[in-house]
Structure 1
Amino acid sequence: MVRAHSHTDSTKVRPITEAEFPEWLRAVHVGFLREPVVAEAELEARRSQFEPGRYLGAFEGDRCVATFRSFEQEVTAVGGEFVTADGITGVTVTATHRRRGLLTRMMNHDLAVAKERGDVVATLIAAEYRIYGRYGFGPATSAAEWSIDLPRTGLDRRGPDLGAGARIDLVGPDEVRKIGPELHDRLRRATPGAVSRGDWLWQLKTGALRLDSKWTEPFFAVYRAADGTVEGLLAYEVDDTWGDAKQPLNTASVRAMLCSTPAAERALWHYLCSVDWVTQVKTGPRAPDDLLPHLLPDPRAARITTQSDWLWVRILDVVRALESRTYEGEGTLVLEVVDPAGLAGGRYRLDVSPAGASCTATTESADLTLDVGELAALWLGDESAVRLVALGRVQEEQAGAGRGADALLRTSRRPWCPDMF
């Protein structure tokens, strides 16, 4: 039974101790509606991530009823610069303790510390859309998933023509841990919205660390260019489904694909779509403007099954955020940034050119007035200021300012975050 709460809440919000970590992790399970028991394997695997001060809990006596975790992260700005970020995850409130302001207390504490620490932005991937806008976050990237009907693709099922010297090999997890991090760094340098990935995650994705007994090892395929450079890595699993007439109807599901060149992307998709017995491919989350559908002779063979927001950003330092990215055009934009939390509000003059950018506080008349969350949605180049004006979420103070902002801020390819955290 869900218990009603009184207006006098004695719940304490504070950083947890390492000894309280098992209870904190149990509360994470409860908040995400998982089995409210933590397996020893998961406890040991996750304990290695513990960092004092960055795990918050709300406690009623010894019982943890809300959780919050942040960690050091980098996010790629437009143009390839890595900016410091406060990555947020593990956010839960137990059903019996909702609507008491526990998340607000944890979030306010964490963002204030991140601001003082000098982080440029905070990031998260939102389980629910309506929660995080009130804390200044805005959806900055999105993702899409496709299901590919292989008989309709028109691809040559004999496999890709790799050209002279290039090759695709199946490798083991030890090899992935050796070659993966450098490939991922090259990919994220070229991908606005991508985030850093630590060694813990590589171990988790290759089975060196296991959260439970349900781990199944995927196939790992590596694409090497003619000079031997690793340009692509694909992790996938295949089910075991057969039709009544003893015909294979297997589905290959992609766990991850990292490619630093279009050639690698083309080759690995063609490879996967030509594996014998496989009649359907599920792509997992990809960039919303992924090349995939148009790598197929019949793009209609790839059907979108999921399309949604992905990485949310909260700007903590407007000047550093706007100066960290590149701009293809040249111009000036004065922004009135509204931030009820008082972390990043103010009026800023942004002067940009292909040679660089300068952002300074100003008393000049604003071109646009917008909430800090809307600025986050514009920062990586995915959202349109004109669209936000039409939605009533950005106010044009000068006629045509939305179009001018789009000319400066929007990018030719859409940002994307390949990781979940």
Structure 2
Amino acid sequence: MISPAADIDVRPVTEAEYPDWLRAVNTGFLRAPTDPPEIVEARRRQLAAVRLLGAFDGDRCVATYRSFDQEVTAVGGTPVPGNAVSSVTVTATHRRRGLLTRMIGRDLAEAKERGDVLATLIAAEYPIYGRYGFGPATAMAEWTVDVPRAGLDPRGSGPGDGSRIDLVDGAEVRKTGPELHERLRRVQPGAVSRSDLWWQLSTGSVRFETSWKEPYFAVYRSAAGQVEGMVSYRCDDRWGDAKQPQNTATVNWLIAVTPDAERALWRYLCSIDWIVRVRSGSRAPDDLLPLYLPDPRAAQITSQADWLWVRLLDVVRAMEARTYAGDGELVLDVVDPGGFTGGRYLLRASADGASCAPTTRSADLVLEAGQLARLWLGDESAVRLAALGTVQEERAGAARSADALLRTSRRPWCPDMF
């Protein structure tokens, strides 16, 4: 018999309860419920750096929630403190009982109290998180490159300008990767911080899965010897009729801080013997990859979706953290059923910076917190949202004014899954 909702206890998870919490996570994501003991012990490495909530029906964990500290790069390069949300599940036997609402409400309130400017997540299901004030703030695309069609000269795959590409091992990635990523996220709106554990998991020095297989790692070094790009990838082993290779190189992640490094790494991947397809992994929706190829049509989008979702917890700090495309003023009337950010705000933006403060002036735009989150990183258009009816213009032309201030020349991108 299932307990009444009021009898289900939502509370922080103790170390002793962690295996049961992990079993509930696996159940929620339709994985094998029980991990081997060595995997459970390996996963304990993250306990000191995360906040775990569980819903307990008696002794059994029936819903899970994890959050941890994260920085998100605002437009212009300022890192903003945030609360990353992950491992959200409700066991099938206990759905529609308000357990997620209790967990997320508690966690967001604590994040607001800590002084976090926003919360983030990668949504497994689109319809869930809008009702909690989240909005999709970045998108992703994945390309598959038909290498023979791309038109690249197989005789000249190297950079050829004094720069070079080297295969390296996981230890080298752990040594040079964090600094490279820091350089990237200082200039990439939507990028998020990576912990030491992220690099350990990516290179296999810590393993959360028994099926983990070592990938290949390649780094791009400029003529001056500086690491400016890095890629992790794997290759399959498939042969067709008449002994023709049909192999695919699949990118786990690729980061680069210069167009030269990015171009060289993509061309390297397309030059590997026996590789006839390259799958790009998750990239920005306006990624330059197709345009690096003599025939851009050789790169076909095979997946496209929303990616990083944002929930603003402090409108003033969020709007003041970013830069703007021009000068202007905008009065935003933010509706927030969650009670964190509701109110009317005057945004004044210029090349010298921005200010945002509560105001009693008449609103230019009325919108819910989740819609402002969609606009914050510059990816979405207020004009589009006004056409959909999710943003209301109180002053004629206000949506166009908002786009002139908020939108960015390149689309924001989050390279990470968490």
The residue identity in structure 2 corresponding to 1:269 is W
Aligned mates of 2:136, 2:70 — CA distance in 1: 18
Deviation at 1:18, TM superposition (A): 1.1
Pick from 14, 17, 33 the counterpart of residue 17 of structure 1. 14
The residue identity in structure 2 corresponding to 1:193 is G
- Superposed CA deviations along residues 358-383 of structure 1, whole A, max 9, x for unmatched, are 00000000000000000000000000
Q: Contact 1:385/1:402 (CA < 8 Å) preserved in 2?
A: yes
Deviation at 1:7, TM superposition (A): 5.6
Aligned mates of 1:30, 1:248 — CA distance in 2: 39
Over the matched positions of the two proteins, sequence identity in percent amounts to 68
Aligned mates of 2:252, 2:49 — CA distance in 1: 31
Deviation at 1:53, TM superposition (A): 7.9
What is aligned with 1:249? 246
Q: Contact 1:41/1:212 (CA < 8 Å) preserved in 2?
A: no
Residue 67 of structure 1 pairs with residue 74 of structure 2 = no
What is aligned with 1:312? 309
Q: Contact 1:16/1:53 (CA < 8 Å) preserved in 2?
A: no
- Superposed CA deviations along residues 144-175 of structure 1, whole A, max 9, x for unmatched, are 00111111000112343423320000001100
Q: Contact 1:140/1:380 (CA < 8 Å) preserved in 2?
A: yes
- Partner secondary structure for residue 202 of structure 1: helix
Residue 283 of structure 1 pairs with residue 301 of structure 2 = no
Pick from 78, 93, 97 the counterpart of residue 96 of structure 1. 93
Aligned mates of 1:228, 1:236 — CA distance in 2: 22
Residue 29 of structure 1 pairs with residue 29 of structure 2 = no
Residue 358 of structure 1 pairs with residue 355 of structure 2 = yes
Q: Contact 2:49/2:68 (CA < 8 Å) preserved in 1?
A: no
Q: 1:8 to 1:131 in 2, by over 3 A?
A: closer
Moved more, 348-357 or 37-46: 37-46
Aligned mates of 1:293, 1:166 — CA distance in 2: 22
Query: What does 1:183-202 correspond to in 2, within 5 Å?
Result: 183-202=180-199
Residue 133 of structure 1 pairs with residue 130 of structure 2 = yes
What is aligned with 1:322? 319
Q: Contact 2:325/2:407 (CA < 8 Å) preserved in 1?
A: no
Aligned mates of 1:412, 1:237 — CA distance in 2: 33
Count of matched residue pairs: 418
What is aligned with 1:154? 151
What is aligned with 1:261? 258
Aligned mates of 1:241, 1:271 — CA distance in 2: 20
Query: What does 1:368-407 correspond to in 2, within 5 Å?
Result: 368-407=365-404
Q: Contact 1:140/1:310 (CA < 8 Å) preserved in 2?
A: yes
Deviation at 1:41, TM superposition (A): 2.9
Instruction: Provide the alpha-carbon RMSD of the alignment.
Output: 1.2
What is aligned with 1:223? 220
- Superposed CA deviations along residues 248-305 of structure 1, whole A, max 9, x for unmatched, are 1111000110101100000000010010000011111000000001111111111111
Consecutive unaligned residues in structure 1, runs of 5 or more: none
- Superposed CA deviations along residues 222-269 of structure 1, whole A, max 9, x for unmatched, are 000011110000111110000120111111000110101100000000
Deviation at 1:51, TM superposition (A): 3.6
Q: Contact 1:193/1:416 (CA < 8 Å) preserved in 2?
A: yes
The ranges of structure 1 where at least 4 consecutive aligned residues each deviate by more than 6 angstroms after the TM superposition are none
The residue identity in structure 1 corresponding to 2:46 is Q
Q: Contact 2:375/2:406 (CA < 8 Å) preserved in 1?
A: yes
Deviation at 1:384, TM superposition (A): 0.1
Pick from 102, 119, 123 the counterpart of residue 122 of structure 1. 119
- Partner secondary structure for residue 322 of structure 1: helix
Deviation at 1:401, TM superposition (A): 0.2
Q: Contact 1:11/1:59 (CA < 8 Å) preserved in 2?
A: yes
What is aligned with 1:48? 45
Aligned mates of 2:134, 2:186 — CA distance in 1: 23
Aligned mates of 2:50, 2:164 — CA distance in 1: 47
Q: 1:370 to 1:13 in 2, by over 3 A?
A: same
Aligned mates of 2:358, 2:93 — CA distance in 1: 45
Pick from 135, 141, 152 the counterpart of residue 144 of structure 1. 141
Normalising by structure 2, what TM-score?
0.98
The residue identity in structure 2 corresponding to 1:241 is R
Normalising by structure 1, what TM-score?
0.98
What is aligned with 1:169? 166
Residue 205 of structure 1 pairs with residue 202 of structure 2 = yes
Aligned mates of 2:372, 2:155 — CA distance in 1: 48
Aligned mates of 1:106, 1:370 — CA distance in 2: 25
Aligned mates of 2:140, 2:201 — CA distance in 1: 22
Deviation at 1:216, TM superposition (A): 1.1
